[in-house]
Homo-oligomer: A and B are copies of this chain.
Amino acid sequence: MSENFLYLTRPGIDTHQEPVVYMRNDCHVCRAEGFSAQSRVRVCTGERSIIATLNIVTGDFLSHQKAALSEAAWRLLNPQEGDKAYFKHAPAVDSMGYVRGKLYGKTLSQAAASDIIRDINHGLFSDIQLAAYVTACAGNRLSTEETISITRAMVESGQRFHWGEDMVLDKHCVGGLPGNRTTPIVVAIVAANGLLMPKTSSRAITSPAGTADTMETLTEVTLSFERMRKVVREQGGCLAWGGSVSLSPTDDIIIRVERALDLDSEGQMVASVISKKVAAGSTHVLIDIPVGPTAKVRSAEVARHLSDALCKTGAALGLNVKTIISDGTQPVGRGIGPVLEARDVLAVLNNAADAPDDLRQRALTLAAALLEMGGKAAPREGLQLAQQTLQSGAALRKFEAICHAQGGLKPLHPAKHQHVIRAPKSGIVALFNNRVLARLASLAGAPNAPAAGLDLHVRLGEKVEAGQPLMTIHAEASGELEYALDFYNTHPEVLRIEEEVV
- Pick the most buried of A38, A135, A448: most chain B CB atoms within 10 A of its CB: A135
This chain's copy number in the assembly: 2
Which of B32, B61, B442 meets A483, CB within 8 Å? B32
Q: Smallest CB–CB gap between A272 and chain B, Å?
A: 18
Across the interface, which residues of B come within 8 angstroms of A263, CB to CB? Answer: 100, 103, 132
- Pick the most buried of A14, A61, A480: most chain B CB atoms within 10 A of its CB: A14
Once the chains are docked, how many angstroms separate the CA of A103 from the CA of B132?
12
- Pick the most buried of A15, A34, A96, A131: most chain B CB atoms within 10 A of its CB: A131
Across the interface, which residues of B come within 8 angstroms of A38, CB to CB? Answer: 15-16, 256, 260
In chain A between 42 and 84, which residues have their CB closer than 8 angstroms to a CB of chain B?
Answer: 55-61, 70-71
Across the interface, which residues of B come within 8 angstroms of A61, CB to CB? Answer: 11-13, 61
User: Do B13 and A261 touch across chains, with their CB atoms under 8 A apart?
Assistant: no
In chain A between 331 and 355, which residues have their CB closer than 8 angstroms to a CB of chain B?
Answer: none
Which of B10, B58, B138, B479 meets A103, CB within 8 Å? B138
Chain A 220-253, CB-CB to B under 8 Å as 1, else 0, gives 0000000000000000000000000000000000
Q: A132-B261, A135-B136 are in contact. Are A37 and B15 (CB under 8 A)?
A: yes
Q: Smallest CB–CB gap between A433 and chain B, Å?
A: 15
User: Do B261 and A128 touch across chains, with their CB atoms under 8 A apart?
Assistant: yes
**A257 close to chain B: CB less than 8 A:** yes
Chain A 256-276, CB-CB to B under 8 Å as 1, else 0, gives 110011110000000000000
Q: A100-B262, A104-B139, A105-B139 are in contact. Are A13 and B59 (CB under 8 A)?
A: yes
Once the chains are docked, how many angstroms separate the CA of A136 from the CA of B131?
11
Once the chains are docked, how many angstroms separate the CA of A19 from the CA of B464?
48
Q: A131-B129, A263-B132 are in contact. Are A56 and B14 (CB under 8 A)?
A: yes
Q: Smallest CB–CB gap between A5 and chain B, Å?
A: 15
Once the chains are docked, how many angstroms separate the CA of A132 from the CA of B443?
28
Which of B22, B92, B443 meets A34, CB within 8 Å? B443
**A25 close to chain B: CB less than 8 A:** yes
**A127 close to chain B: CB less than 8 A:** yes
Across the interface, which residues of B come within 8 angstroms of A104, CB to CB? Answer: 139-140
Number of interface residues of A (CB under 8 A): 55
Q: A58-B14, A61-B12, A483-B32 are in contact. Are A132 and B129 (CB under 8 A)?
A: no
Closest B residue to A205 by CB, please name it.
B36
Closest B residue to A103 by CB, please name it.
B139
Once the chains are docked, how many angstroms separate the CA of A34 from the CA of B256?
17
**A313 close to chain B: CB less than 8 A:** no
**A134 close to chain B: CB less than 8 A:** yes
**A217 close to chain B: CB less than 8 A:** no
Closest B residue to A28 by CB, please name it.
B479
Which of B15, B134, B139, B479 meets A55, CB within 8 Å? B15
Which of B15, B37, B130, B442 meets A128, CB within 8 Å? B130
User: Do B59 and A11 touch across chains, with their CB atoms under 8 A apart?
Assistant: yes
User: Do B442 and A14 touch across chains, with their CB atoms under 8 A apart?
Assistant: no
Across the interface, which residues of B come within 8 angstroms of A138, CB to CB? Answer: 100, 103
User: Do B129 and A55 touch across chains, with their CB atoms under 8 A apart?
Assistant: no
Closest B residue to A58 by CB, please name it.
B12
Closest B residue to A138 by CB, please name it.
B103
Chain A 80-104, CB-CB to B under 8 Å as 1, else 0, gives 0000000000001000100010011
**A126 close to chain B: CB less than 8 A:** yes
Q: Smallest CB–CB gap between A205 and chain B, Å?
A: 10
In chain A between 188 and 235, which residues have their CB closer than 8 angstroms to a CB of chain B?
Answer: none
Across the interface, which residues of B come within 8 angstroms of A10, CB to CB? Answer: 59
Once the chains are docked, how many angstroms separate the CA of A404 from the CA of B96?
48
Across the interface, which residues of B come within 8 angstroms of A479, CB to CB? Answer: 1, 32
Q: A92-B262, A104-B139, A139-B103 are in contact. Are A57 and B11 (CB under 8 A)?
A: yes
Once the chains are docked, how many angstroms separate the CA of A59 from the CA of B260?
26
Once the chains are docked, how many angstroms separate the CA of A92 from the CA of B206?
14
- Pick the most buried of A11, A60, A443: most chain B CB atoms within 10 A of its CB: A11
Once the chains are docked, how many angstroms separate the CA of A134 from the CA of B129?
11
User: Could you list some 9 contacts between A and B, CB below 8 A?
Assistant: A32-B479, A32-B483, A96-B262, A103-B263, A128-B130, A131-B132, A132-B132, A132-B134, A132-B263
Q: A34-B442, A96-B262 are in contact. List 19 more A-B contacts (CB 8 A).
A: A1-B479, A10-B59, A13-B22, A13-B57, A13-B59, A13-B61, A14-B57, A61-B61, A100-B262, A103-B138, A128-B131, A128-B261, A129-B131, A129-B260, A129-B261, A131-B132, A132-B132, A132-B134, A132-B263
